[in-house]
Chains A and B, each alone.
Chain A
Amino acid sequence: MEKQFFETDVVIIGAGPVGLFAVFELGLLDMKCHVIDILDKPGGQCAELYPEKPIYDIPGMPSVLGQELVDSLMKQIEPFSPTFHLSSMVQEINKIDDIFWELKTDSDEVFKTKTIIIAGGGGSFLPKKPPIKEIENFENNSVFYSIKNKEKFRDKDIVIVGGGDSALDWVINLEPIAKRITLIHRRDQFRAAPDSVKKIFSLIESDKIDFIIGQVSSLNGKDGILESLKCKTQDTEVEVSCDALLPFFGLTMKLGPIANWGLNLNENLITVDTEKFETNEKGIFAIGDINTYPGKLKLILCGFHEAALMSQQAYKYVYPGEKLTFQYTTSSSDLKKKLGVS
Chain B
Amino acid sequence: MTKINFIEFNGEEHSVEVDNGNTVMEAAIKNNVPGIDADCGGATACATCHVYVDPAWAEKTGEAEEMEKDMLDFAFDVEDNSRLSCCIKVSDELDGLTVRLPEKQF
Residues in chain A within 8 A of chain B (CB atoms): 45, 49-50, 53, 122, 128-131, 162-164, 185-187, 189-191, 215, 249-250, 252-253
The reply to whether B76 and A249 contact each other, CB–CB distance below 8 Å, is yes
Residues in chain B within 8 A of chain A (CB atoms): 37, 39-40, 43, 45-48, 69-71, 73-78, 103-106
The reply to whether B73 and A131 contact each other, CB–CB distance below 8 Å, is no
Top 7 nearest A-B pairs (CB, nearest first) are A191-B70, A128-B106, A49-B45, A250-B74, A50-B43, A131-B104, A163-B73
A164 surroundings in chain B (CB, below 8 A)? 73-74
Nearest to A127 among chain B residues (CB) is: B106
Shortest distance between the CB of A219 and any CB in chain B (Å): 14
The answer to whether residues A250 and B78 also contact, given A122-B39, A129-B106 and a CB cut-off of 8 A, is: no
A269 to B79, CA, bound (A): 34
Given contacts A122-B39, A130-B76, 4 further A-B contacts (CB under 8 A): A49-B46, A162-B74, A164-B74, A185-B73
A45 surroundings in chain B (CB, below 8 A)? 40
Shortest distance between the CB of B14 and any CB in chain A (Å): 19
The answer to whether residues A250 and B47 also contact, given A49-B39, A215-B77 and a CB cut-off of 8 A, is: yes
A128 surroundings in chain B (CB, below 8 A)? 74, 76, 106
Shortest distance between the CB of B56 and any CB in chain A (Å): 23
Q: Could you list 10 examples of A-B contacts with CB < 8 Å?
A: A50-B43, A128-B106, A129-B106, A162-B74, A164-B73, A191-B71, A215-B77, A215-B78, A252-B39, A252-B46
The answer to whether residues A253 and B39 also contact, given A49-B46, A50-B45, A131-B106 and a CB cut-off of 8 A, is: yes
Nearest to A125 among chain B residues (CB) is: B39
Nearest to B105 among chain A residues (CB) is: A252
The reply to whether A53 and B45 contact each other, CB–CB distance below 8 Å, is yes
B74 surroundings in chain A (CB, below 8 A)? 128, 162, 164, 249-250
A191 surroundings in chain B (CB, below 8 A)? 70-71, 73
Shortest distance between the CB of A278 and any CB in chain B (Å): 27
Q: Which of A50, A163, A164, A250 has the most CB of B within 10 A?
A: A250
B48 surroundings in chain A (CB, below 8 A)? 252
Shortest distance between the CB of B96 and any CB in chain A (Å): 29
Shortest distance between the CB of A254 and any CB in chain B (Å): 9
Pick the residue among A131, A163, A190, A250 that contacts B77 (CB under 8 A): A131
The reply to whether B43 and A53 contact each other, CB–CB distance below 8 Å, is yes
A200 to B39, CA, bound (A): 30
A250 to B47, CA, bound (A): 9
A253 surroundings in chain B (CB, below 8 A)? 39
